[in-house]
């Protein structure tokens, strides 16, 4: 009985070791299998441009290197002027020829005219309804027309010339006063403040008050 118990215990330990090894091997192969299954599943749905082999999670980021423009040139010479890269989980279409760029921006411009609806754009532009992110259609045409006529027309821009002159004059006076008092001048902050003041006065009719930066 002691011999049978010892044999049973030894067999159980060997089976347990084999099971642990099998689980370890399966955990290593699982990402690769999921990656291949996803590739097979995607091939039947979309006819995508050529794409370099990608890695899980990072996609093709490892192939860009320190000089991305040169890496893209090398990849385009191998995969063609129209290729698909995955920057992390974001699929990115790379166009590297004038002919393909003309097809996208002139021949099929309506198809590529929409901006991506990202989370940030959806929050900051109130559901992508502003002139920059509105989907192509009657609404976007109307918004662009209003923007060009009411905000960016020559007459409207000239009407705010006095605002620009006043703010630039204030900027010059600030710099002159700082130089006379031998104080440091931060042109970055000054130019940002002038730009903000001009925009706020043209849009809201007054300067916006900014505290603590």
- The segments of the chain whose pLDDT lies below 50 read 3, 18, 213
pLDDT score recorded for residue 27: 61
pLDDT score recorded for residue 169: 93
Classify the C-alpha dihedral 93-94-97-102 as positive or negative. positive
φ/ψ of residue 48, rounded to 5: -95, 155
Task: Dump pLDDT digits (tens) for 107-157.
Answer: 888 888 777 788 888 888 888 888 888 888 888 889 888 888 887 888 888
φ/ψ of residue 86, rounded to 5: -115, 105
| Cα Rg of the chain, angstroms | 31
C-alpha 137: how far from chain center: 23
C-alpha distances in angstroms, 149 versus 133, 158, 179?
Answer: 19, 13, 42
pLDDT score recorded for residue 168: 92
pLDDT score recorded for residue 3: 47
């Amino acid at each position: 009985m002691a011999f049978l118990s010892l044999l049973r215990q030894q067999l159980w330990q060997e089976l347990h070791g084999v099971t642990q090894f099998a689980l370890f091997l399966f955990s290593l192969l699982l990402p690769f299998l999921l990656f291949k299954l996803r590739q097979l599943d995607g091939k039947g749905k979309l006819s995508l441009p050529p794409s370099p082999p990608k890695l899980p999670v990072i996609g093709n980021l490892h192939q860009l290197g320190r000089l991305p423009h040169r890496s893209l040139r090398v990849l385009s010479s191998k995969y063609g002027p129209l290729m698909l890269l995955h920057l992390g989980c974001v699929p990115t279409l790379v166009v590297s020829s004038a002919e393909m760029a003309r097809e996208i921006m002139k021949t099929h411009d309506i198809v590529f005219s929409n901006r991506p609806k990202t989370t940030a754009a959806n929050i900051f532009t109130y559901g992508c309804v502003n002139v920059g992110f509105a989907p192509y259609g009657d609404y976007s045409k109307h918004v662009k027309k209003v923007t060009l006529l009411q905000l960016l027309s020559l007459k409207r821009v000239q009407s705010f010339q006095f605002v620009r002159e006043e703010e630039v004059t204030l900027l010059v006076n600030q710099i002159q006063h700082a130089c006379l008092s031998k104080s440091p001048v931060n042109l970055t902050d000054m130019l940002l403040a002038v730009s903000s003041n001009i925009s706020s006065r043209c849009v809201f009719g007054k300067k916006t008050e900014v505290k603590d930066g």
